[in-house]
Chain A
Amino acid sequence: SQTIHQWPATLVQPVGSPLSLECTVEGTSNPNLYWYRQAAGRGLQLLFYSVGIGQISSEVPQNLSASRPQDRQFILSSKKLLLSDSGFYLCAWARQGTNRDSPLHFGNGTRLTVT
């Protein structure tokens, strides 16, 4: 079966510090990968998605970047955090090929607080 891991679960970082959140998927190959941010416990905003190694699409201009150095690894980064980067970050994967009806499968998220 497939599993998705995100770490860390919680993170408190000062303004101006760098960020690296990691997500890995097991049990599948060549998945689509996604980073979402959830602010104030409600709406989800798609930040980045990737359909393959080194292929990153950004949905909104922001202080963050993403990378996919390996097939099942997705990293969210920032060089200098802003207060507005605080939120709940969710990684997700979906199967390619039949992705019309493939649901997204989410990790347990990272709660980031920028102080």
Chain B
Amino acid sequence: AQSVAQPEDQVNVAEGNPLTVKCTYSVSGNPYLFWYVQYPNRGLQFLLKYITGDNLVKGSYGFEAEFNKSQTSFHLKKPSALVSDSALYFCAVRDVAGVYNQGGKLIFGQGTELSVKP
């Protein structure tokens, strides 16, 4: 079964410093990976996805993610953090075993709280 793990409940970064939010995955077959951000009392916003191709994927708001097949990781990164980046971040994997008969559902990690201090 597909799964993702986010090993850190919380990440603290100073504004202007680079940030990394970690995600590892377990899939049978090719992985289809996604990152989302959630602000308090709001829905999840899509940031970026990896389907195939370049291992470095660029997304919204200056975020990027690095896919590493040998380490089964898909870490979210940003070169220079902003206070406004403080939010809850979710990694997700598509349940491709059921793409054609189970609605292409996403399986989410437990989330990582990012706190960027001025």
Contacts and interface: CB of A to CB of B under 8 A. Distances in A.
B27 interface: no
B103 A104 contact: no
Question: Interface size for chain B: under 10, 10 to 19, 20 to 34, or 35 or more residues?
Answer: 20 to 34
Given A34-B103, A99-B99, A43 B108 contact: yes
A42 B108 CA distance: 10
Contacts, number: 68
Question: Interface size for chain A: under 10, 10 to 19, 20 to 34, or 35 or more residues?
Answer: 20 to 34
16 contacts: A6-B43, A32-B104, A43-B109, A44-B44, A49-B105, A90-B44, A92-B44, A100-B51, A100-B94, A101-B49, A102-B104, A103-B49, A106-B44, A108-B42, A108-B43, A109-B42
Given A42-B110, A50-B103, A59-B105, 10 more contacts: A42-B111, A51-B103, A90-B43, A100-B104, A103-B46, A103-B49, A104-B46, A105-B46, A106-B43, A106-B44
